[in-house]
Amino acid sequence: MPTLFEKIISRDIPADIVYEDEWVVAFRDINPQAPVHVLVVPRKPLVNVAEAGPEDAELLGRVMLAAAEVARREGVAASGYRLVLNNGEGAGQSVFHLHCHVLGGRGLRWPPG
Ligand code: DGP
pLDDT in tens, 53-69: 999 999 999 999 999 99
| pLDDT (average), residues 80-94 | 97
Q: How many CB atoms lie within 10 A of CB 97?
A: 21
90 CB within 6 A, ligand 1: no
Q: Separation of 105 CA from ligand 1 center, angstroms?
A: 19
Residues pairing with 31 in the sheet: none
Q: What is the pTM of this model?
A: 0.98
What is the number of domains present in the chain?
A: 1
In a domain, 76, yes or no: yes
What is the per-residue pLDDT for 91? 96
| pLDDT for the residue numbered 4 | 97
Nearest atom in ligand 1 to the alpha carbon of residue 95 is 4
Measured from the Cβ of residue 47, the count of other Cβ atoms closer than 10 Å reads 15
- Residue 94 CA to ligand 1 center (angstroms) comes to 7
Percent share of the chain, pLDDT over 90:
97
Q: Is any atom of ligand 1 closer than 6 Å to the C-beta of 29?
A: yes
Host domain of residue 30 = 4-104
Residue 94 Cβ inside 6 Å of ligand 1? The answer reads yes
- Chain centroid offset of residue 36 CA: 12
What are the catalytic residues?
Answer: 99
Residue 101 Cα: closest atom of ligand 1: 3
Please tell me what DSSP assigns to residue 42.
Answer: E
Distances (CA, A) of 20 to 3, 50, 62, 70, 106: 18, 24, 11, 10, 25
Task: Please check whether residue 14 lies inside any domain of the structure.
Answer: yes
Provide the 8-state DSSP code for 79. T
Strand-pairing partners, residue 26, are 19, 40
Q: With 80 as the cut, is the pLDDT of residue 29 above it?
A: yes
CATH, residue 100: 3.30.428.10
Rounded to an integer, the average pLDDT of 69-91 is: 98
C-alpha to C-alpha distance for 89 and 64, rounded to whole angstroms: 22
